[in-house]
């Protein structure tokens, strides 16, 4: 199959960063994942936001605007400092060691949500904390959450993580399968057919 030389086919991973300079406000990531390779699978979703092993400064996180053509199973399991249920807003803080939201989910072709991080660890780092905090999103191909899906992370099974660093910055990492370049045309091809788009912005007054 051939493609025009100016056309890109993104079948495994696309990261698109939209950054806005601001004086204050939450850091927000908009995440879209194409899940068509496992469409129809009765699996599960997991969101967690946890402090590091040492001393972590206070931070909070919200999952906003969850949308999908798949279906949530209902009756989620909430552990630690978290409130809310999907498709509504989930609110986490890092006040306890393990803060987790787990829910059964029948996959469709796509899902999307926003991750909004805020609190003193991001707006006013104290300079004395010795650990950051980490948000992690995982997908599973079984309802029990034992079989990780659409990820290359064989240790934790994460699809996406966002670290809150000690200086108040954040670092996003994707564990979706890497794309394979086709030398003849330069298009990006992959096996899984998974699309992830991440957009970043910092809310607040723009200078």
CA distance 161 to 47: 10
Centre a 10 Å sphere on the Cβ of residue 141 and count the other Cβ atoms it contains: 17
List the one residue out of 136, 139, 77, 73 whose CA is nearest residue 105: 73
Q: What is the pLDDT of residue 116?
A: 96
Per-residue pLDDT at 176:
79
Q: Coil, strand, or helix at residue 36? A: helix
Identify the residue whose tokens are 């997991």.
46
User: pTM of the entire structure?
Assistant: 0.79
User: pLDDT for 69-109, tens place per residue?
Assistant: 999 999 999 999 999 999 999 999 999 999 999 999 999 99
Residue position matching structure tokens 């829910």: 103
More confidently predicted of 186 and 168: 168
Cα–Cα distance, 18 to 16 (Å, whole number): 7
Handedness of CA 136, 139, 142, 143 (dihedral sign): positive
Least confident interval from 70-74, 75-79, 117-121, 192-196: 192-196
78 bridge partner residues = 101
Mean confidence (pLDDT) of the chain: 81
Altogether, the residues listed in the chain come to a count of 207
**Residue in the structure block whose two tokens are 């493609």:** 3
Q: By C-alpha distance, which of 69, 61, 49 is closest to 89?
A: 61
Q: Which of 31, 34, 32 is nearest to 12 (CA)?
A: 34
State residue 70's pLDDT score.
98
Q: How confident is the model at residue 137 (pLDDT cuts 50, 70, 90)?
A: very high
Least confident of 24-28, 31-35, 110-114, 174-178: 174-178
- CA atoms of 18 and 40, how far apart (whole Å): 32
Confidence of residue 203 (pLDDT cuts 50, 70, 90): low
Tens-place pLDDT, residues 22-56: 335 799 999 999 899 999 999 999 999 999 999 99
């Amino acid at each position: 199959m051939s493609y025009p030389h100016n056309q890109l086919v993104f079948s495994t991973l696309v990261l698109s960063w939209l950054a806005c300079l601001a004086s204050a406000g939450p850091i927000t990531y908009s995440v879209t994942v194409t899940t068509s390779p496992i469409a129809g699978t009765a699996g599960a979703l997991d969101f967690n936001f946890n402090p590091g092993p040492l001393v972590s400064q206070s931070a909070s996180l919200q999952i906003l605007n969850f949308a999908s053509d798949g279906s949530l199973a209902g009756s989620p399991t909430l552990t630690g400092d978290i409130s809310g249920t999907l498709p509504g807003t989930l609110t986490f803080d890092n006040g306890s060691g393990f803060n987790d939201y787990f829910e059964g989910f029948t996959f469709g072709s796509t899902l999307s949500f926003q991750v909004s991080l805020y609190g003193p660890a991001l707006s006013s780092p104290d300079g004395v904390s010795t650990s950051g905090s980490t948000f992690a999103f995982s997908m599973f191909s079984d309802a029990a959450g034992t079989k990780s899906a659409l990820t290359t992370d064989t240790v934790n099974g994460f699809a996406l993580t966002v670290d809150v660093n000690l200086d108040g910055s954040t670092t996003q990492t994707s564990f979706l399968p890497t794309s394979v370049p086709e030398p003849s045309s330069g298009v990006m091809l992959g096996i899984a057919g998974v699309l992830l788009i991440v957009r970043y912005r910092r809310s607040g007054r723009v200078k």
